[in-house]
Structures are given as C-alpha cells and as structure tokens.
Structure 1
Amino acid sequence: MQRLSAILTLFLLILGFSLASPHFLSVNNTLTVLLQTSVIGLLGIGLTMVIITGGIDLSVGSVLALSGVMSALAVRSGIPVVPAMSVGVLTGAACGGFNGIVITKLRIPPFVATLGMMLIARGLALQITGAAPISGLGRAFGQLGNGALFRITETQPNGFPTVIFPGIPYPAILLLIVAIGAAYLLRRRQIGRHIYATGSNEEAARLSGVRTDRTKLYAYTMSGALAGLSGNVLMSRLVTAQPSEGVMYELDAIAAAVIGGASLSGGVGTISGTMIGAFIIGILRNGLNMSGVSAFIQQIVIGFVVIGAVWIDQMRNRN
C-alpha cells in the first residue's frame, strides 16, 4: 500500500504541477528534474541498504562534501580526472567503513556513530580547504555532471552552437545503472538476503549463520561509497569543489527511502521504492520553485511529507 500510495502521489504531483505551469513538462525542465534527483537518488540507494539493516546514516551529506573536495584536490595535484574521482569514492567508502566498524565493534548506536562522522567529515572538508571553494578544475572535471548522451548541437552562421536536443544527462544514466545494480544485489545475491535478514531479526539471522556484523559493515561502506560518488557528480556539475555543499542532503535521502516504503524498523525496503521517493522529492522541489514558493515553505512541506510517510510506516508495523 505504501508503494502504491507513493506512485499515486508522484502521479498527482506531475499532474498538478503540469496544470499549474505549461513549462513543467518541457524537455528542459524534465532534464533539470533528472539532474536534481540524481544526487538524492544515489544517496538514497546507499541509505536504503543501511535502513533495511535497521540502522541509519546521518553522515552522507558531509561525506559527500569531503569526497568531492578530495577528488578536486587530486585533480589539482595533476592526477587525471577518472582516477581522481576514484579517490573521492574511496574516501566515501573509508568513511562508511569507519561508521560500520564503530557500530559493530564499539557497539555505539548508528544514530550517534554517524552523527559523529557527520561532524568529522564536515570538519575535515572545511579544514583541508580553509573553508574556501576549490576552482580551476578544468573542463574535463565538469564532464560527468554537465555532459549528456546523444546531445545534438548545430553551429549557427555567427559561429555559436545551438542545442537541438539536450541529450540524456550523464548523472541520470549513472543513477539508472547504480539503481539496477543495487536492486540486483539486494534481490539476487546472498549479501542482499543477509541485509534483509539482519534488519528483520538480527538475533535470528545470527543464529542462522548470517555474519550480521560483516553485513552491517558492507551496508555502511556502500552508503559511504555512494555518498562519494554523489560528491563527484555534484562537484562536477558546479565545476568547483564546495566544502559547504551537502548540508541537509541526508534528510532528503532518508525521506526518499521512507517515502518509497523503507521501514525505519528494518527489514523492509526496495530500490525501486526509493527511486519513486527521490523523484517525489525532486518534483516537489522543482514544482514549488516554478510556482514561486520560497525555500523555507518548501522545507515545511517536505517535513510534513516525511512525517506522513513515517506515520504510514508505523501503521503498517502495527498491523
């Protein structure tokens, strides 16, 4: 029912904003929604794995910023773009792995452990950069965030290019590939079944032979790695590494997972549901922006949406 209600909500949002503005369903605005949703979607996929285990990760926004900064510093040092971005992903995976070790070995609650990492990662990003953005990263660094597949341009008589078809943004393609891979992992691979078993009943899973600590470590490492990938996408779009980016992104990602049907109690959640939730958040923000609604009101609206989704989850658990 929660998945169906999320799909219905998405359809009603598209219908409502389409009637409110004739430009909402334009090609350019659709591509804008895809770009805006890609970062939240990538973060949401990682958080879905963590939430299914019964945990939470509040550090993904700060890890995003730290990873983007590390990628930019690697580019500035002369490393080619692809290996440099790999540094950012590895930085995110290391932060996620640290979360997993603290949670499984020190037995610190996930909320507290990831809250600590949120402060550590943000502090590192600001300290390394001196709280100043890193610019001058070159055109190649911006290709991931601003490039598009099948883009068609035409040169005018005055020598300036005109975009005939904007193409499919690379971040949207990346989101699709990661979502398919994560869904396959959760549904078809042993580690995916272990993630669901750990979240459903950790003690029963442990007694059945599931290495629950290793499963949690895997989930948090994946969440961190995807936060690092999101950092690359976001900083590439800006062609500048901003150590202050990613603030409150973790809440949007958690909202996407919960709206899509993931249970904060663990054991329940799907990647497809999270993608629906991410597009609900993205379309809601985009439509409210086009309607001239202030960013403060948008926060209020999304806050009520999250409360409603969690309430539906609680009612489902009681039943």
Structure 2
Amino acid sequence: MMKSAEQKQTGLSDKQKDIIQKFAALGSLVVLIVVFALTSPAFFTLNNGMTIALQVTSIALLGIGATCVIITGGIDLSVGSVLALGGVVAALCVKELGMPVPLGMVLGILTGTVCGLINGIAVTKFKLPPFIATLGMMLIARGVALEITGARAVSGLGESFGELGNGALFRMVTIGDDGFPTVTFPGIPYPVILMIVIALAVGYMLYRSVLGRHIYAVGSNADAARLSGVNVSKVVNFTYILSGTLAGLTGCVLMSRLVTAQPNEGVSYELDAIASAVIGGTSLIGGVGTISGTLIGSFVIGILRNGLNMNGVSAFTQQIIIGVVILGTVWIDQLRNRR
C-alpha cells in the first residue's frame, strides 16, 4: 500500500523510471552517432565500428562488475590497478615460467579474483567503507604490478599471446592476383564476443536468479534483506569477487591486444567503469541498475572518445568533456533519487 501511494505521488514506478533512464542514455548514444557521422566521413565505416567495439570491451567488462557492486550500495575503485596486475601476472607466467598461454591467463584472471575477495572481506568482515577498502587495493595492486615487473613492460610474449585480443571469428581473407592476402571481412573480434557472452550471463544472473534478487535486495535495504534471510555478507563478497575477476579478465584481454604487458595500464579505468554504469541508469545509492543500460553507457563513452579523436580534439579537452559528462549524469541521478 505504501509503495503504491508513493507511485501515485510520483506518477512512475521504479521499472518505468529505469526504462526512461535507459532510453535517455540510448537517445544520447544515437545523437552522438549522428553528430560524429556528419562531422567525420570515416566515422560511419565498418573498420571504425570494429575499432569502437574493441575499445568499448574494456569499459563494458569493468562496467558490468561495477554495476553489480554499485547495486549493492558499494563502489570499486581498484579495477584499473587489478587489471594491470592480472595482465602482468599472465604475461610473466608465460614468459618467465614458460606456462602455456591459456594457463597463464587463467592465473591472471584468478589474481583478479583474489583481489576482489580481499576487497569483499575488507568491506564485510573488517567493516571498512568500500571507498577506503578499494582505494587501498588500488594502491596495493598497482604497487605489486610495478614491483614484480621492475616498472618495465613485459614484451616478447609471442604471437599466441596476442590471439585472444587480436583474433576474430568469421574473418575472411582472400589471396589477390599479386599473391598478397586481402581481408574481405575483418570478422567479429574475440573480445567483443567475450563481452556479449559475459553481459548475457551476468544479466541473466541479475534478472532471473535468486542471487540476482538478493543483490537488488541488499542494495535497496540491507537490514530488511538480512531480516528476510539473505546472507548479506556473502552477496556483497560475491559482487566484489565478480568485479575483481572481470578486472583480471580485462587485463588479460588488453595485454593480449597489445602483445605487451604494461604495469601502468588501466589508469583511471575505474572512472570509466563507474561512469558507464551511472550513464546507463545504475543508481549510486544502490538497488537500481541494469547490464543493458551499462552496455549503452559504455558505448556512449567509447563513441564520444572515438568521435572526438576523429575530429582532432586534444586528449586534454577530451578529459574535460568526459569529466563534465560524468558530473552531469551523477547530478541527474541525484535529482532522480530526491524525487
């Protein structure tokens, strides 16, 4: 009765608000595509589309993890550093220890999982504020990545290490009359396929499973969820573990694309992840958020960067513009929550 009275007062249900927010983000995405297509002839091409999709995968994978954490009312500032640590661990396992590439990357992903678990324990067992706990992990993971590599890039990893980041499904290559290969269709990059599969899996978990309902319940009201029999600590731990695991995976994909492991990679990626979630409608106070909205938010950031690059906007100005976008979306989120 109380909920229906609130809905009558505002005129919109929570579901309707989510749909409006998602379509607002989608509308912004369409506007950006139209503007950049008109200002740059090379923007609306297949090759540039693939470039954007590849650039977006890192933001989207981190954003998916960030969405789950934020829905519970938390925040994860460590994903950029965990990304770097996971990537360099995978590279060192392959180069220094002679491990097969798949095994090295599994260990890199598990490194992210361990970092996420430590974050979860710090928040649930030691009762540290998520901001402080993950800020500490951000510094620790970056420091470890720099220490184990001597602050130098890990190179000479071989072509097999770059297969995950640079390979593509359905790539078509023909041999011309001159005997040289010509790419007739670039194919669907493996990172894009990975992004879609993970988005579908996590989306299904959030919307169709008991665990997903518990995640939303914890974010809406942790005390009420606890009284209803939800193990709040386990749910919160799971979201941080998922975020850390996806950060480790993103690190492996990114280092594979570069075929070089950079311990300084991933700086400020946590801001992109949080921004993609908020642009897509995830509320910073918890309890509200969708994976589809986060994907839209990721493409908004990716297309904004790509279009600004094509129009010759400097990297410094891009930072200002994206910063304004982040501030604007958070402000809109706060206004929505007050209403």
TM-score range, shorter chain: over 0.9
Q: Does 1:258 align with 2:278?
A: yes
Shift of 1:82: 1.1
1:68–1:232 contact (8 Å) kept in structure 2: yes
The match for 2:245 among 203, 216, 225 is 225
1:63–1:121 contact (8 Å) kept in structure 2: yes
Superposed CA offset, 1:209-233 (max 9, x none): 1000110000000000000010011
Superposed CA offset, 1:209-263 (max 9, x none): 1000110000000000000010011000000000000000000010000000000
Counterpart of 1:194 in structure 2: which amino acid? H
In the other structure, the counterpart of 1:277 is 297
In the other structure, the counterpart of 2:335 is 315
In the other structure, the counterpart of 2:47 is 28
Q: Does 1:142 align with 2:162?
A: yes
Percent identity between the two aligned chains: 64
In the other structure, the counterpart of 1:306 is 326
Superposed CA offset, 1:18-46 (max 9, x none): 01111111010000000000011000000
Superposed CA offset, 1:157-176 (max 9, x none): 44432111111111111000
The unaligned stretches of length 5 or more in structure 2 are: 1-19
In the other structure, the counterpart of 1:39 is 58
Superposed CA offset, 1:37-79 (max 9, x none): 0011000000000000000000000000000001001111111
What is the TM-score of this pair, normalised by structure 1? 0.99
Distance 1:3 1:167 in 2: 29
1:41–1:274 contact (8 Å) kept in structure 2: yes
Shift of 1:312: 1.3
* Paired residues, number: 319
Distance 1:63 1:160 in 2: 41
Counterpart of 2:61 in structure 1: which amino acid? L
Moved over 6 A (4+): none
Shift of 1:152: 0.8
In the other structure, the counterpart of 1:95 is 115
Q: Does 1:249 align with 2:269?
A: yes
In the other structure, the counterpart of 1:153 is 173
Q: Does 1:59 align with 2:78?
A: yes
Distance 1:204 1:79 in 2: 48
In the other structure, the counterpart of 2:32 is 13
| Structure 1 residues 97-176: aligned runs within 5 Å | 97-176=117-196
Shift of 1:2: 1.7
Distance 2:299 2:246 in 1: 18
Q: Secondary structure at the match of 2:264?
A: coil
The match for 1:204 among 207, 212, 224 is 224
What is the TM-score of this pair, normalised by structure 2? 0.93
Counterpart of 2:221 in structure 1: which amino acid? N
Distance 1:39 1:83 in 2: 21
1:60–1:227 contact (8 Å) kept in structure 2: yes
Q: Secondary structure at the match of 2:286?
A: coil
Q: Secondary structure at the match of 1:227?
A: helix
Q: Secondary structure at the match of 2:157?
A: coil
Q: Secondary structure at the match of 1:17?
A: helix
Counterpart of 1:238 in structure 2: which amino acid? L
Counterpart of 1:192 in structure 2: which amino acid? G
Q: Does 1:238 align with 2:258?
A: yes
Shift of 1:307: 1.0
Distance 1:280 1:238 in 2: 24
Distance 1:254 1:317 in 2: 17
Counterpart of 2:157 in structure 1: which amino acid? L
Q: Does 1:179 align with 2:199?
A: yes
Moved more, 73-82 or 225-234: 73-82
Q: Does 1:74 align with 2:66?
A: no
Shift of 1:183: 0.1
The unaligned stretches of length 5 or more in structure 1 are: none
Shift of 1:3: 1.2
Rg bigger for which structure?
2
